[in-house]
Chains A and B, each alone.
Chain A
Amino acid sequence: MATVNADIKVTPQLAAEHGLTPDEYARIQKILGRDPNFTELGIFSVSWSEHCSYKSSRIHLRRLPTHGKHVVQGPGENAGVVDIGDGLVAVFKIESHNHPSFVEPFQGAATGVGGILRDIFTMGARPIAVLDSLRFGAITGNGTSAQNRRILDGVVRGIAHYGNCFGVPTVGGEVVFEPCYANNPLVNALALGVARRTDLFFARAQGPGNPVIYAGAKTGRDGIHGASLLASAEFSEESEQKRPNVQVGDPFVEKLLLEACLEAMKTGAVVAIQDMGAAGLTSSSCEMASRGGVGIEMDLGRIPQRETNMTAYEMMLSESQERMLLVAQRGREREVFDVFTKWGLDAVEVGVVTDDGMLRLLHHGKIAAEIPARTLAEEGPRYERPIAAPPSAKSPEKLAEFSAPGVNLHDNFLRLLASPSIASKRWITEQYDSMVRTNTRVGPGAGDAAVLRLKESHRALAIKTDGNGRWSALAPREGAMHAVAEAARNVACTGGRPVAATNCLNFGNPEKPEVMWQFTEAIDGISEACKALETPITGGNVSFYNETLGKPIYPTPILGVLGIIENADCAIGSAFCNEGDGIVLLDAGRAAESREAQAREFSSSEYAKITQGVIAGAPPAIDLDAEKRLIDCLVDLTSEKVILSAHDVSDGGLAVTLAESCFAGDGLSAEATLAQENSAEPPEYTLFGERGARAIVSVAPASLARVNSIAAQYSVKAERIGVVTRGDFRITYSGDHAIHGPLGSFQQAWSDSLASELESAF
């Protein structure tokens, strides 16, 4: 990349090339009282980019509920903080790294993990778990399936490379395939850490005269404009040229950085600290200064550089990874330096905290930039973008069919089990070390949520990420509500009481009124659901511009819900445990009653999509009251240890839930009878309908009465529908029909599908 000349004359044209609108440029001139120089232009362009400033989303994000009795820190810092008892706090957040993962899947995904890990340990918390929500285009069939397999492979290897080497277990997440993600894969990485509440650190620079210290890897030219141009714009035919904008990560250096930072924080000499993520040195310095109401002055000649002749512009925009910016107490710098020296990392005093609120940069003895920090960090543009719901469909949509002649439900069930979104993800998840740090009680594939035990407490933490883009496309508000409900329900299935949430909002171009409508609807849905389920949002991320050549992805809000299990020994997985245990269906809601309502609901299901090619209708009606009652019921049932396993009903419906509860176990099978009272219900709806507020639990015969009694307290229907066996898998429905066969026939379809698609490709 050619060296950038700091003396370049700034023109409105150049500003436009930096992604700034004429109005934004005019505002910059007003703030400075003059034209910005080239370095200042670069600084504004990244700070005011969509990715860093949230300019299209800020006014809507304000509507999210952020307060709750467990919340110690909500949105506004590097991660959210939740009190988990015994003087401990959980620190967690989810973030996206979508655009880089299309351009360079391995490094894009790896640095996504690296970035979110730094957001956790910059708060003083050691990361204990990572989860990833991934979206790819179809990996089979015509079109871009080979490209999609290549992207998936790169992303998975990138996540594995970073998490495994850093030493944090990757314990869960989800992988979903829809054509709309082909050129816009989604990589949302969540990290969770634990700290003593008294050991928390914030990114608020304080104390004029205090030294500003740069620590970690050297700064190079990688990732420049990663935030402003890569993450804040659509893809077009020229996307290849964006490759230099993808950052390159080194998890070994990050591991050293983690240990050094935690050790340095223990000295008591660190006042404030922030990691250098998107917009690197720019965002970390202006945000720390702005939060503290102070200024920061830095001499860029002191920045550790790994390329020669870097300009001020390049240094401020570089997104080189594994770097932190700290403020220390004047006089105690040596204590900080000694720690970083021990760990073999650069730690250099590069500047000082001032009291004038300015971000002032010196280079080669001259002032290279001088900007009020607040205008960069807090006072970026705020847009009220036009919102317009899409016009209603002109022709009646084609809905799913029930009981069409010649349809073989058994064969369709096998197809459903083998479909990539539902099939076993083991080929992916076992590339991740899910056990390092010896805290993983329930790992990938073993339960509805990941469960981490805490060595310092009798409690455990349960955490899950969920989202349904297809449902959100059909009905953005309801789709978003379902995301919250599903994640919370999954947490409750392992015994966790949901207490807080983080969200990653993946959408198309916000300059399109229809996308903005999807966004604001999703915000309203998340707000309503989080209030009803008592899971305030403690932080998160917005990723706009996920579209290529004008075609946006499905609106895809991803929710990460954190739950607390009061007694770690009460945690349960999703697998059936013993032959002879009763299989009970817990149902807190009500099925759609009319054939028409059932058809509309069923048209949004995986079954309809896979077997009939139908994507229509609406997501199942969401009943937040029912979801809350089921959650509370599950928490009670697990704390009394009267259920042995729990698995919620979601993609693929009851039939898939029953099958998966067998697959996760040790050769145990099931015999169940569905919809005995209502044998007139269409069989597809009974077997594969995806209405929420339901879970399948297994119960020792002696505990059945107690389960019924607890369920009744929450007005949750508890129906014993079958028994765990060691024989054939059998589901009886609509009177005397049945899907049945050797367990192995169903298990093989489910377990071999992804591996056979992906292994053969390489």
Chain B
Amino acid sequence: MKFGVVVFPGSNCDDDAHYAIGEVIGQPVEFIWHQSEQLSGLDGVILPGGFSYGDYLRTGAIAKFSPVMRTLDKFARSGGLVLGICNGFQILVEAGLLPGALMRNKRLRFLCRQVHLRVENAETPFTCAARPGEVLRMPIAHGEGSYFCEPAMLAELERNRQIVFRYVHSDGHDARHDDFAANPNGSLAAIAGVSNRDGNVVGLMPHPERAVEAALGSVDGRVVLRSMVEYLSKGQAGCAATESVSA
């Protein structure tokens, strides 16, 4: 299998994602320049974090016009796995590949801190190696990560189990919308990550690629990347949570 990490002008977590997949998880991975229209041969594509196009106009707004996004749209429609992290999530939302919007953090400041996420849907290709309800610790680092959508959309997301991750307290308890400690950006329904209808495209604001080495604070991000690997090699049925998810 092979992964691709898209590089837009201004992406700055591309090296981190490449290192996590290539060196830590140990899978073949290459960089995809934003002007490339070649995604063939890839099984999974990561849109990494950063400030693509300097967040000019609106974060993620300009990236959607890059040539690679046309090809990515086809790639996603044919079932390829797409993971958008932070700015990558913002780009997927702007490109219409994921529902909702990402707004300025409630307290209007950039925030870099560890948060806890609960796996709400352990049956996606990005969470199949996790236990349902498992709590993962990984960092956020953004100024515009507050998830929002209209009530009708929210009901649909819940109905279709498209909410993949929610911000929670460290003990797994729900975080309210105004609970700064657990849901620092004030996301609606504490939503940290969502999928598309088919479940092959997921975006999340926290950074799993920053939580794959114990020396840097947490290895809980590994399960997201490992899920993709397991799914691609064994299929949905073959991908299951193991005891040592933190290995």
Contacts and interface: CB of A to CB of B under 8 A. Distances in A.
A255 B51 CA distance: 10
Contacts of A250: 54
A166 B12 contact: yes
Chain B at the A interface: mostly helix, strand, loop or mixed? mixed
A455 B10 contact: no
A459 to B, nearest CB: 13
Interface stretch (B106-114, B117-125, B239-247): B106-114
A431 B54 contact: no
Given A433-B141, A435-B210, A438-B20, A252 B53 contact: yes
B207 interface: yes
Interface string A732-762: 0000000000000000000000000001001
Interface in A69-109: none
B94 interface: no
Given A165-B10, A431-B111, A569-B215, A437 B55 contact: no
Nearest to A438: B16
Report the contact-size class of chain B (Cβ under 8 Å from the partner). 20 to 34
Contacts of A434: 112
A386 interface: no
Given A167-B50, A256-B9, A455 B112 contact: no
Nearest to A156: B109
Interface in A335-383: 343-344
Nearest to B24: A438
Most buried by B among A431, A438, A441: A438
A160 interface: yes
B30 interface: no
Contacts of A569: 215
A441 B12 contact: no
Interface residues of A, number: 31
B220 interface: no
A155 B13 CA distance: 25
Nearest to B16: A438
Contacts of A251: 51, 54
Contacts of B143: 164
Contacts of B10: 165, 252, 255-256
Interface in A245-286: 250-253, 255-256
A430 interface: yes
A436 B141 contact: yes
B37 interface: no
A415 interface: no
Interface string B177-218: 000000000000000000000000000000101100101100
Given A164-B141, A252-B54, A344-B9, A430 B111 contact: yes
Given A433-B112, A435-B112, A343 B9 contact: yes
B156 interface: no
B56 interface: yes
B215 A164 contact: no
Interface string B73-96: 000000000000000000000000
Closest 4 CB pairs of A and B: A167-B12, A252-B54, A165-B51, A433-B141
Interface of A: 157, 160, 164-167, 250-253, 255-256, 343-344, 430-438, 440-441, 453, 455, 568-569, 759, 762
20 contacts: A164-B141, A165-B12, A165-B55, A167-B12, A167-B51, A252-B10, A252-B51, A255-B9, A256-B9, A430-B112, A430-B113, A432-B112, A435-B141, A436-B141, A437-B16, A438-B16, A438-B209, A441-B215, A453-B215, A759-B107
